[in-house]
Amino acid sequence: MNREPNLLDHMQNEVRKLNINKGWREPDGSSLTTFGEYVALLHSEVSEILEAFRDYRLDPHTTENLESNGIIGKPDDVGSEFADVFIRLLDMADIFGIDLTYEYKRKMAYNWTRRYRHGGRTLSPGHEMPF
């Protein structure tokens, strides 16, 4: 399939370069991490969203500046954890050859054909989650 590169492709390339530079991937872009390990790492990032929500709700938060040279502290709030999930997903899709743009379009096309609430399953019927 031939298509024009897009923002998602640019982001994926940036993640690949960063992970090679920081030693998380081999210089050729490959990885020794298995598919199952990547799924577990992605799952752990999703769990960190819940932990950040428990700590800060939806308020932005950055850890204190631990460096004296002006480096900004590590963000550890819900938004930054969402970004970690996205970064991990971009990396995983790149390694395993998944075209996220194509898959997004394919899945959304299908989702538009689904019934309203397609089955109506919820975790706790009749209860809204308080924020």
Question: What CATH number does the domain containing 66 carry?
Answer: 1.10.287
- pTM (predicted TM-score): 0.82
Residue 129: what are its φ and ψ, rounded to 5°?
A: -80, 125
* Model confidence pLDDT, tens digit, residues 5-31: 899 999 999 999 999 999 999 999 999
Asked, for residue 39, whether it belongs to a domain, the answer is yes
pLDDT, tens only, 47-102: 999 999 999 999 988 776 555 556 677 888 999 999 999 999 999 999 999 999 99
Structural domain of residue 47, as residue ranges?
35-113
Query: What's the total number of domains in the chain?
Result: 1
Secondary structure letter of residue 94 according to DSSP: H
